[in-house]
Homo-oligomer: A and B are copies of this chain.
Amino acid sequence: MNQHSPMDARPSSGDDSRADTTRDLVQLCLLPGLGPRTLASLLDAFGSARAILNAGKADLSQVHGVGPKLAHVIETAADHVDIEDVFAWCAAHDVDIRRRGEASYLPSLLDLDDAPPIMFCRGQLLPRDSVSVAIVGTRHATAYGIQQTRRIAMVLARAGVTIVSGLARGVDTAAHRGALEADGRTIAVLGGGLGKIYPAENAPLADEIAQSGAVLSEYSPQAQPRGGMFPQRNRIIAALGQATLVIEAPNRSGSLITARLASEMGRTVGALPGQVNSRASQGCHHLIRDGATLVQHAEDVLELLGPLSAPVSESTATEDETPIRDAREMALNEIERQVLAAVGTTGTALDEVTHHSGLPASRVNAIVSILEMKRFVRRLSGQYVSRI
């Protein structure tokens, strides 16, 4: 069930016409000053990337959002982007390019109005990455913020949640590291090209992330990260996280933009409180006052995730699967899950649960009590139990 095919977007692809189309599209996407919305308008008007590249200035300028300067840039596209160079770099660095509209594209990005037409991806994306939490916060995190980020990311990652963040210093770095320490999965979304890791000191961390998840960028591999790219990048982080957790953020922090975008997309937002005299917690406190959920522990975040829209399997399709219906289930141990799997929503006899679980009755009884305490099941009258 590995959704990406490394052949998809590379020059060596056997499907020449598809490869050409990708090449044309990438060429356009990487042009300076041409954003996803204007590109969408151009594709609507001209029908294909090739047709846009072949068009003259006059025709291009007819499209909403295309001024004379941009029309000129498109007409002289080859001068701006060395597409062979980009594809060669991607091939050399095991980076594949995912196109919107194809199966390999990240489905949660489709919730964005301005979903990137292409994403550069180093590493692997798995179906289980759809159970994900974006953990964001200030680069100037306090020791408290770093410690809590790491702790929460570890527990979530251990529970099977993929941690999404932005590879920045501070909270982002701690979030990725926490996930890696738990042998969990993590995704980094960059505000620059995959070939320009920022901050440079995090290049080894990016390598590790590519082994346990993916490093993503919508920019050309050699694009230097610039200030304006980060807020734009934040929309991708917000979209990739099923929930967004803000750890520490002073007022007017970029993390608050991520939180706002997440909330506008209908994603849940949580925030960690701190001391009221800590500048780094001001933004979190404002978020909480504005309706974000106060988060103390990883368990609170699992509750935020709530019932999953579609049951996901814990691993790739080659392994045995127990579908998970509620993100909180991921914090249960193997035996608790086994017992829970035998409990129905309308009431199951304890005998039957015992039979299905293959465990001794006394053991099942104890585990049902634990599940009851954790609010997964409730005992009905007599020897019956049901899911809550």
Q: Does A138 contact B (CB under 8 A)?
A: no
Q: How far is the CA of A148 from the CA of B281 in the complex (A)?
A: 15
Q: How far is the CA of A275 from the CA of B272 in the complex (A)?
A: 8
Q: Does A100 contact B (CB under 8 A)?
A: no
Chain B: which residue is nearest A147 at the CB level?
Answer: B277
Interface digits, A112-148 against B, CB 8 Å rule (1 contact, 0 not)?
A: 0000000000000000000000000000000010011
Q: How far is the CA of A281 from the CA of B275 in the complex (A)?
A: 10
A285 in complex: contacting residue of B147, B148, B273, B276, CB < 8 Å = B273
Category for how many chain A residues contact B: 10 to 19
Q: How far is the CA of A293 from the CA of B286 in the complex (A)?
A: 11
B277 A275 Cβ-Cβ under 8 A = no
A276 B288 Cβ-Cβ under 8 A = no
B296 A144 Cβ-Cβ under 8 A = no
A297 B276 Cβ-Cβ under 8 A = yes
**Which of A144, A273, A289, A295 has most B Cβ within 10 Å?**
A273
A296 B282 Cβ-Cβ under 8 A = yes
B276 A276 Cβ-Cβ under 8 A = no
Q: How far is the CA of A233 from the CA of B319 in the complex (A)?
A: 61
Chain B: which residue is nearest A284 at the CB level?
Answer: B273
Q: How far is the CA of A313 from the CA of B273 in the complex (A)?
A: 37
Chain B residues with CB under 8 Å of A289's CB are 293-294
Chain B: which residue is nearest A152 at the CB level?
Answer: B276
Chain B residues with CB under 8 Å of A293's CB are 289
Q: Which of A247-282 contact B (CB under 8 A)?
A: 272-277, 281-282
**Shortest beta-carbon distance from A177 to chain B in Å:** 19
A273 in complex: contacting residue of B144, B147, B276, CB < 8 Å = B276
A275 B275 Cβ-Cβ under 8 A = yes
**Shortest beta-carbon distance from A38 to chain B in Å:** 37
Q: How far is the CA of A296 from the CA of B295 in the complex (A)?
A: 17
**Shortest beta-carbon distance from A367 to chain B in Å:** 25
Chain B residues with CB under 8 Å of A148's CB are 276-277
Chain B residues with CB under 8 Å of A147's CB are 277
Chain B: which residue is nearest A145 at the CB level?
Answer: B275
Chain B residues with CB under 8 Å of A296's CB are 276, 282, 285
**Which of A148, A288, A296, A297 has most B Cβ within 10 Å?**
A296
Contact A274/B272 with A288-B294, A296-B285 known, Cβ cut-off 8 Å = no
**Which of A272, A277, A294 has most B Cβ within 10 Å?**
A294
A275 B276 Cβ-Cβ under 8 A = no
Report A's interface with B, CB cutoff 8 A: 144, 147-148, 272-277, 281-282, 285, 288-289, 293-297
Contacts A/B (CB < 8 Å), 16 sampled: A144-B277, A147-B277, A148-B276, A148-B277, A273-B273, A273-B275, A274-B274, A275-B275, A276-B295, A276-B296, A276-B297, A285-B296, A288-B288, A288-B294, A289-B293, A294-B294
- Please provide the 7 A-B residue pairs with the shortest distance between their CB atoms, ordered closest to farther: A273-B273, A276-B296, A288-B294, A289-B294, A285-B296, A285-B294, A144-B275
Given A272-B276, A273-B281, A274-B276, 5 other A-B residues pairs in contact with their CB atoms under 8 A: A147-B277, A273-B275, A275-B275, A285-B294, A289-B294
